[in-house]
Amino acid sequence: MTTSMQRDTRQRRAIRRAFERAARPLSPDEVLEQARRLVPSLGRATVYRNVKSLQVEGWLSEVDIPGGGLRYELAERPPHHYFLCRVCKQAFDVPGCPECVETLGPPGFEAEGHEVTLHGRCADCV
Amino acid sequence: MTTSMQRDTRQRRAIRRAFERAARPLSPDEVLEQARRLVPSLGRATVYRNVKSLQVEGWLSEVDIPGGGLRYELAERPPHHYFLCRVCKQAFDVPGCPECVETLGPPGFEAEGHEVTLHGRCADCV
DNA sequence: ATATGTGCAAACTCTTTGCATGGAG
DNA sequence: CTCCATGCAAAGAGTTTGCACATAT
């Protein structure tokens, strides 16, 4: 079981760098592609392991976008939602959060959180 | 390529029955379990093929719930959203749809639709 | 020096596809 | 009787894990 990841390796630095440079949530493949520019020999499993451990440390948060698979982004950001482009398949941040949402739950259900995802075409794909 | 499915088989009837009886979106495994009560020999691939073709016919619609994988439900229902219970992993319908949501998109982005998912504990798991 | 992280390959989960057989029409 | 749909098993996508070797400390 891998949860600690205390050592500062080239691979781990390259993965962190990818997120610091990205303005949007990244999929594991996007992280691999970006980080391989710095460490070409980087393996897929290392990306998965580091993304998982950076999550446990609270540095990354997981974003599950309907129809878009898993993504990750810096955890420090204020609560917000996502826009998935159906043309280029990239995910973007949407600032703000409609307060009204959690009151929708059926009676007797206890809502602890919510996700809102828009989909359509991004500014570059319109 | 399977898209037509014009014959009325025992398997297909059992799969339709499962959805007609369900009050909530069903995962492929839930469909298999329900439909096997009527046709024990039913195979997984048949569920996937029929669910796909019932979708193409417009009888089912696909529901992709963050953290909950793919589900399907009768297409006839009015637009609504979902509640995923983190304890029993079942998905439930949430009536209504906050109008405010699609205006959130960044400028230049064209939103064509949206999903809203609540998560927490359902009435049975509170 | 030594324990931890990496890279590869195999295992796993979920879904799709190829093919011979069973059954709807 | 003729094709189409089924069931099985193998193949794919995405993710996780076991193990020997490399390397940060």
**pLDDT tens digits, residue range A27-68?**
999 999 999 999 999 999 999 999 999 999 999 999 988 877
Residues B100, B106, B108, B114, Cα dihedral to 10°: -50
Question: Judging by DSSP bridges, how do beta strands A81-85 and A110-121 pair with one another?
Answer: parallel
- Integer Cα distance of B74 and B35 in angstroms: 16
Residues B14 and B63 in one domain: yes
Does residue A13 have a pLDDT over 70?
A: yes
B5-26 per-position pLDDT tens digit: 889 999 999 999 999 999 899 9
pLDDT value of residue A67? 79
- Evaluate if the CB of B87 falls below 7 Å from strand C: no
pLDDT value of residue A36? 97
Q: Which domain holds residue A91?
A: 81-120
Residues B114 and B67 in one domain: no
Split at pLDDT 50, 70, 90, the class of A3 is low
The residue ranking higher by pLDDT, B120 or A47, is A47
Cα-Cα-Cα-Cα dihedral sign, residues A35, A39, A43, A47: negative
Domain count, chain A: 2
In CATH, what number is assigned to the domain containing residue A68?
1.10.10.10
Residues B44 and B100 in one domain: no
Q: Count of A–B CB contacts within 8 Å?
A: 124
- Evaluate if the CB of B7 falls below 7 Å from strand D: yes
Residue B104 resides in a domain: yes
A109 contacts B122? CB cut-off 8 A: yes
B56-89 per-position pLDDT tens digit: 999 999 998 887 789 999 998 877 889 999 889 8
- The arithmetic mean of pLDDT across residues B45-57, rounded, is 96
Q: Count Cα neighbours of B10 within 13 Å in the Cβ-side half-sphere.
A: 8
Which residue among A58, A74, A90 closes a domain? A74
Which nucleotide's C1' atom has the smallest distance to the CA of B46?
A: D6
Residues B108 and B54 in one domain: no
Q: B interface mutation test: which of A82, A88, A117, A121 has the most B CBs within 10 A?
A: A117
B119 contacts A96? CB cut-off 8 A: no
- Residue A48 has which token pair? 């998965």
Does residue B46 have a pLDDT over 70?
A: yes
Nearest to A98 by CA among B99, B87, B108, B66: B99
- Say what the pTM is: 0.87
- Integer Cα distance of B34 and B18 in angstroms: 6
pLDDT value of residue B105? 82
Residue B61 resides in a domain: yes
How many angstroms is C1' of D20 away from CA of A54? 25
Residue A38 resides in a domain: yes
- Integer Cα distance of A39 and A98 in angstroms: 41
| Chain A touched by B108 (CB under 8 Å) | yes
